[in-house]
Structure 1
Amino acid sequence: MTLREEFATRNFSIYGQWLGILSMILCFALGIANIFTFHAVIIVFSAICLVSSFVILFIEVPLLLRICPTSSGFDAAIRRVSTNYMRAAAYAAMAAVQWISLVGGHTSLIAAAVFLSLTGICYLLAAVRGQDFVGSKTLGGAGVAQMIV
C-alpha cells in the first residue's frame, strides 16, 4: 500500500501516526533550540520535549523495538501504548506538559504542544469512530518487522 493509498483510507490512526512523526521532529528540534536559554523552567521543559521525541519515535516506529537494544521494562511500556485510546492518552499527557511550559514564558515549545494535541485528537477520533489501529507500512507497520527477523 502506497502512502497515497494509506491517506485515502480515511483512517484517523494513520493520520495520527504521521502527525506523530511530525510531532517527533518538532519536539526534537524545539527541545534543542530552547535548551540553550538561561531560564531554568524552559530548560526543564526543553529536556522533557527532547525525551518525548524519543518516546514518540519508539511508539510510532515499532520496528525500532526489534532493532535497538532497550530494556524489557521500556519495551513493555511502549507496547502498552498500542490502542488508539492509549495513544491518544499518551499524546494528551505529552501535550499537557508542553502547554504547561507556557508558565515559564512564551517560547516556540507551543508549536510542539499544538502538534502533540493534534496527534492526540486524531487518535481519539479514530478510537471514537471505532477504527482499528492501522500502522503505516512505510513506518514499519504490519509485515515489515517480520521481514527483518
Structure 2
Amino acid sequence: MAITDYFKISGFLQDMKSRNLSLYGQWIGITCIFLSLALGIANLFHINVVFIFGIIAIVQSPILALVEIPFLLKIFRIPDSLISFIQQLDTNWMRALFYAVNAVIQWLSLTCMATSLLALAILYTINVFCYAGAAILGQEFHQSNVVATVHVSETPAEAQIRNVL
C-alpha cells in the first residue's frame, strides 16, 4: 500500500471548496498544534510569570493533536477516559467551547506581559468563530478529506502485520 492510500492530497482542495466552517476550523486547529508547541517553547525563557502560560501552551499542543487528528487515537495508547472526552468534542458547539476555553487561557497571558502567545490566542478565537459559525449556520460537523479511512478488511495481510509490528 502506498502513502496515497492513507493521505489524499486532493482532499485538501475539497476541504477548501466545501465552504464548511468546521473544516476550516479543523485546519486552523492543525496550525494551532504546531504554533502552540513553538510559541510555548519560545515563552519558556521569560523571567516573568508568562513561562507558566508557555507550559500551558506546550500541554495544549498534544491535546489539540488528539482532538483534531482522530487517527492518532488509534496509534497511541491513551486512557479510555481521555478518548471518551475527545469523542464528546465531535460537535461544532463542543469544539467551539473547547477552543473558547483555550483562547481565554491564552488571552489571560496578556495580563502578565504582551508576548507572542497573543498570536495563539487570536487563532484560538478565530477557531471559536469557525466552529460556532458552523453550528449557527446548521452545517454538519465534518472531518477532513485528507486522511483516508482504510478499514482493516480492505488492508492486505502483509500491511496488517507491518502495522502490528
Gaps of 5+ in 2: 1-9, 161-165
Q: What secondary structure, in the 3-state scheme, does the structure 2 residue paired with 1:137 have?
A: coil
Matching residue of 1:90: 98
Return the offset for 1:120.
1.2
Q: Quick one: distance in 2 between partners of 1:106 and 1:51?
A: 20
Q: Which amino acid aligns with 1:89?
A: L
Matching residue of 1:9: 18
Equivalent pair of 2:14/2:145 in contact (CA under 8 Å): no
Return the offset for 1:38.
1.4
The 5 A counterparts of 1:1-149 are 2-39=11-48, 41-138=49-146, 140=147, 144=149, 146=151
Gaps of 5+ in 1: none
**Number of matched pairs:** 145
Q: Which amino acid aligns with 1:32?
A: I
Point out 4+ residue stretches in structure 1 off by more than 3 angstroms.
145-149
Q: Which has the larger radius of gyration?
A: 2
Equivalent pair of 2:11/2:144 in contact (CA under 8 Å): no
The alignment yields a C-alpha RMSD, in angstroms, of 1.5
Deviations, residues 35-87 of structure 1 (Å, cap 9, x unaligned): 12112x21111111111111110000000001111111111111111100000
Identity of aligned residues (%): 37
Q: Quick one: distance in 2 between partners of 1:31 and 1:104?
A: 15
